[in-house]
Homo-oligomer: A and B are copies of this chain.
Amino acid sequence: MNQKIMPQDLWLDLLKIRSQAPLIHSITNFVAMNFNANILLALGASPVMAHSIEEVEDMVGIAQSLVLNIGTLEPDWIYAMRLAKTKAHIRGLPVILDPVGAGATPYRSQCVEELISKDPPNIIRGNASEIMSVAGLSGFTKGVDSSIASDDAILAAFTLAKKINGVVCISGKIDHVVDHLGQHAMLSNGSPLMTKVTGVGCSATAIIGAFSAVQPNFFRATLGAMAYLSVAGEVAAKKTILSGSGSGTYQINLLDAIELLEQSDFNSQLNMKFFHKI
């Protein structure tokens, strides 16, 4: 029963990240690399970025999870992702995929298909249109914007979760986390300011990488990551707006909140709902 997952459980996973500082190996896009690394450091994890086919497998060999992000993909990088993913599966490491801009170009869709058709990732996170596209449904993707998940998108997430035998997260104004067993949770935290800083979505995926490195229940790990980021994002937004500042300041406040968020605020502000299995 997923109702057993309580805020304090998610907080325990966070404490594990802080005490164990798991090494998160990211093969990610050029735009978000720096911000993602800083988000992981603020969280208490250890980021490492390595994409060369000469070393990706060895780097996976010392990592605790693998995050793949196709934001600025190219053939060599996709090949490196496949090598890394295979090694991660052999080692039993969690693999998390961020299908940035899936559906925007045929090449992007084809690369995602390659990455999920064999040895699929354990967890996929995207916005509604990306998840619909990856699930094989239409859904025009305008750049990498987030949007509100329709019922169709949630059904697509369940379809995709079954296909990969894992967890799918649709992030947006409301975040949905579903899995292949029919579990479904919903988070109503966050702030529109999160869409005004590039790489926040990619960072959500990186944070899932950190939570899944310490929590083998990937539904719970994904939920913990999204819950932590969205509450921190809300706290940072309140501070930003209160000071009359904008998206530049928000980027900094978000990093601060990721590092300094307190359990009492997390517990009191978290707005999490579970649904019956479908």
Q: Give A residues with C-beta under 8 Å from B.
A: 23, 29-35, 37-38, 41-42, 46-52, 54-55, 58-59, 61-62, 71-75, 101, 104-108, 142-145, 195-199, 244-249, 251-260
Chain B contacts of A30 at CB under 8 A? 30, 33, 49
Q: Is the CB of B199 within 8 A of A34?
A: yes
Q: Could you say which of B52, B59, B247 contacts A259, with CB atoms under 8 Å apart?
A: B247
Q: Is the CB of A46 within 8 A of B255?
A: no
Q: Is the CB of A105 within 8 A of B58?
A: yes
In the complex, A197→B71 CA distance in Å? 23
Closest 9 CB pairs of A and B: A248-B255, A246-B256, A58-B105, A37-B198, A246-B259, A55-B107, A248-B252, A55-B105, A52-B74
Copies in the complex: 3
Q: Is the CB of A75 within 8 A of B49?
A: no
Q: Is the CB of B248 within 8 A of A253?
A: yes
Given contacts A33-B30, A48-B143, contact A251 B38 (CB under 8 A): yes
Q: Is the CB of B54 within 8 A of A74?
A: yes
Q: Is the CB of A196 within 8 A of B42?
A: yes
A-B contact pairs, 24 of them (CB 8 A): A29-B49, A30-B30, A31-B34, A31-B37, A32-B34, A38-B248, A42-B248, A48-B104, A48-B144, A50-B72, A54-B74, A54-B107, A55-B107, A55-B108, A58-B105, A196-B259, A246-B256, A246-B258, A246-B259, A248-B251, A248-B255, A248-B256, A248-B258, A249-B256
Interface of A is mostly: mixed
Tell me the smallest distance from the CB of A197 to a CB of chain B, in Å. Answer: 6
